[in-house]
């Protein structure tokens, strides 16, 4: 559900933008409110992406598949999806999802329950979440279940994403 493969589905950032769009529509947000919401959300996700990738290439941690192939079984591959060809730590989904969820919490409330309709047109149906944080947690851990991240890469990405969101939320926008 959270694979969000470019060219097939929205990207991870696009997925969160779909969620925000649905909520803004449901709340009949003004153009000014929607514009600021999308600006904050997309600034946070963009900066989270940059921060995460800077860290990935600074630390250059090998992915689980590489360690398994080097020391246990040279033919092993994760079964759910191909492993991305870039460093493991931190999980990009964790960084971006933590940033997105923190911004959405600030905009709409931390306990906002919502239904994600992003993949309805793919036949996957809607998914309901109790909060933005719950959705972000699921997005992050999906990378562990897919066999492409270590738990520490997932857990390490969350505070980085929240830190980026705090910086974006502190920005003063003109009224």
Q: How confident is the model at residue 175 (pLDDT cuts 50, 70, 90)?
A: low
Q: How confident is the model at residue 26 (pLDDT cuts 50, 70, 90)?
A: very high
- Identify the residue whose tokens are 């931190």: 90
With a cut of 60, say whether residue 95 has pLDDT above it. Answer: yes
φ/ψ bin of 128: left (φ > 0), alpha (ψ from -120 to 50), beta (otherwise)? beta
* Cβ pair 20, 41 in contact under 8 A: yes
With a cut of 60, say whether residue 6 has pLDDT above it. Answer: no
Tens of pLDDT, residue by residue over 121-171, are 777 788 899 999 999 999 999 888 888 889 999 999 999 999 999 999 999
Mean pLDDT over 57-61 rounds to 96
Mean pLDDT over 33-61 rounds to 97
The two tokens of residue 14 are 């696009």
| Cis previous bond, 90, omega within 30 | yes
Q: Check residue 2 and give its pLDDT.
A: 57
Tens of pLDDT, residue by residue over 70-84, are 999 999 887 777 788
Output the average pLDDT for the chain. 90
Least confident of 47-61, 78-92, 128-142: 78-92
The domain locations on the chain are 15-169
Please state, in angstroms and rounded to a whole number, the distance separating the CA atoms of residues 82 and 97.
21
Q: Is 138 helix (H, G, I), strand (E, B) or coil?
A: helix
Among 117, 146, 143, residue whose Cα is nearest residue 129: 117
Question: 15-169 in CATH: which number?
Answer: 1.10.606.20
């Amino acid at each position: 559900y959270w694979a969000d493969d470019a060219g097939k589905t929205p990207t991870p950032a696009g997925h969160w933008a779909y969620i925000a769009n649905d909520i803004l529509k449901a709340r009949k947000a003004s153009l000014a409110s929607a514009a600021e919401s999308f600006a904050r959300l997309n600034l946070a996700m963009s900066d989270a992406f940059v921060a995460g990738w800077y860290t990935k290439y600074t630390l250059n941690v090998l992915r689980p598949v590489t360690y398994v192939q080097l020391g246990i079984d040279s033919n092993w591959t994760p079964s759910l999806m191909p492993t991305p060809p870039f460093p493991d730590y931190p999980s990009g989904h964790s960084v971006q999802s933590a940033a997105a969820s923190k911004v959405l919490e600030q905009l709409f409330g931390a306990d906002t329950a919502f239904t994600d309709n992003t993949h309805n047109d793919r036949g996957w149906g809607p998914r309901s979440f109790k909060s933005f944080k719950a959705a972000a947690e699921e997005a992050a851990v999906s990378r562990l279940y897919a066999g492409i991240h270590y738990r520490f890469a997932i857990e390490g990405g969350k505070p980085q994403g929240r830190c980026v969101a705090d910086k974006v939320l502190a920005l003063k926008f003109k009224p």
